[in-house]
Amino acid sequence: MAFEMTIGGAPAPAAARFDVANPAGGLAGQAPNGTLADLDRAVTAAQEAFASWSQLPDGERQRYCEAVTAKIADHSEELAQLITAEQGKPLNGLGSRFEMGGAQAWAGCTAGLSLPVKVLQDNAEGRVELHRKPLGVVGSITPWNYPVMIAVWHILPALRTGNTVVIKPSPLTPLSTLRLVALLNDVLPAGVLNCVTGDDRSENLGAAMSAHPGIRKIVFTGSCATGEKIMASAAPTMKRLTLEMGGNDAGIVLPDADPQAIAEGLFWGAFINNGQTCAALKRLYVHEDIHDAVCAALAEFARGIPVGPGSDENSILGPLQNPMQHAKVARLVASAREKGQVLLGGNPGEGLFFEPTIIAGLANGDALVDEEQFGPALPVIKYRDVEEAVAAANDSPNGLGGSVWSSDIARARRVAARLECGSVWINKHGAIQPNAPFGGVKSSGLGVEFGEEGLAEYTDIQVVFA
Question: Which positions are annotated as active-site residues?
Answer: 244, 278
Burial per residue of 195-233, b for 16 or more beta-carbon CB atoms within 10 angstroms, e otherwise:
bbbbbbeebebbebbbbbebbbbbbbbbebebbeebbeb
**Helix/strand/coil (H, E, C) string of the chain?**
CCCCEEECCEEECCCCEEEEECCCCCEEEEEECCCHHHHHHHHHHHHHHHHHHCCCCHHHHHHHHHHHHHHHHHCHHHHHHHHHHHHCCCCCCCCHHHHHHHHHHHHHHHHCCCCCCEEEEEECCEEEEEEEEECCEEEEECCCCCHHHHHHHHHHHHHHCCCEEEEECCCCCCHHHHHHHHHHCCCCCCCCEEECCCCCCCCCHHHHHHHCCCCCEEEEECCHHHHHHHHHHHHHHCCEEEEECCCCEEEEECCCCCHHHHHHHHHHHHHHHHHCCCCCEEEEEEECCCHHHHHHHHHHHHHCCCECCCCCCCCCECCCCCHHHHHHHHHHHHHHHHHCEEEECCCECCCCCECCEEEECCCCCCHHHHCCCCCCEEEEEEECCHHHHHHHHHCCCCCCEEEEECCCHHHHHHHHCCCCCCEEEECCCCCCCCCCCECCCHHHEECCECHHHHHHCCEEEEEEEC
Distances (CA, A) of 454 to 414, 445, 446: 27, 13, 11
Rounded Cα distance, 381 and 372, in Å: 15
Instruction: Please name the residues in contact with 178: beta carbons below 8 A apart, sequence gap of 6 or more.
Output: 3, 4, 5, 6, 31, 32, 169, 195, 197
The residues, ordered by sequence, that sit 6+ positions from 338 with a Cβ below 8 Å of its Cβ are none
